[in-house]
Amino acid sequence: MSFDVQGLKFDDKGLIPAIAQDETSGEVLMMAWMNAESVERTLQTGRVTYWSRSRQSFWVKGESSGHVQELVDFRVDCDRDCLLVVVRQTGPACHTNRRSCFYTAVREGEEIELMKPMHG
């Protein structure tokens, strides 16, 4: 079956959540949003391209930082309202310079920092 971006379920702002997972470690790196055109750009270019809600513009991940995400596999969930992009991540995925945005755990009511910023 051919993939049709219009078959995805976008929310009332025209957006769909996209989870980025590291192809090697399996680590969940981040979650951001895509609109129909960022889905198409991601598939066409192989560079993961989100829609920045704060800047209201396309966000080619790593375009300014160099911390690009090369698309390895693009997946759609059963309800077609969430995406999973498996990526080859250069450098840290998080703007805090940590490998993943999910570096805070909640254990017994306390917040625990699981990883430190990367160097360089």
In angstroms, give the least distance from the CB of 31 to a copy of itself. Answer: 4
Residue 52 makes contact with a copy of itself by CB under 8 A: no
Residue 26 makes contact with a copy of itself by CB under 8 A: yes
Note whether 49 and 114 are within 8 A (CB).
no
C-alpha–C-alpha distance, residues 53 and 9, integer Å: 18
Residue 36 makes contact with a copy of itself by CB under 8 A: no
C-alpha–C-alpha distance, residues 109 and 92, integer Å: 27
Residue 31 makes contact with a copy of itself by CB under 8 A: yes
Residue whose entry in the numeric block shows the structure tokens 């949003």 = 33
Residue 17 makes contact with a copy of itself by CB under 8 A: yes
Q: Residue 73: beta bridge partners?
A: 86
Residue 109 makes contact with a copy of itself by CB under 8 A: yes
Note whether 67 and 93 are within 8 A (CB).
yes
Residue 76 makes contact with a copy of itself by CB under 8 A: yes
Residues 105/106/110/111 CA torsion (nearest 10 deg): 30
Contact residues toward a copy of itself (CB under 8 A) are 1-3, 17, 19, 21, 25-28, 30-31, 43, 73-79, 82, 84, 94-96, 98, 101-107, 109-111, 114
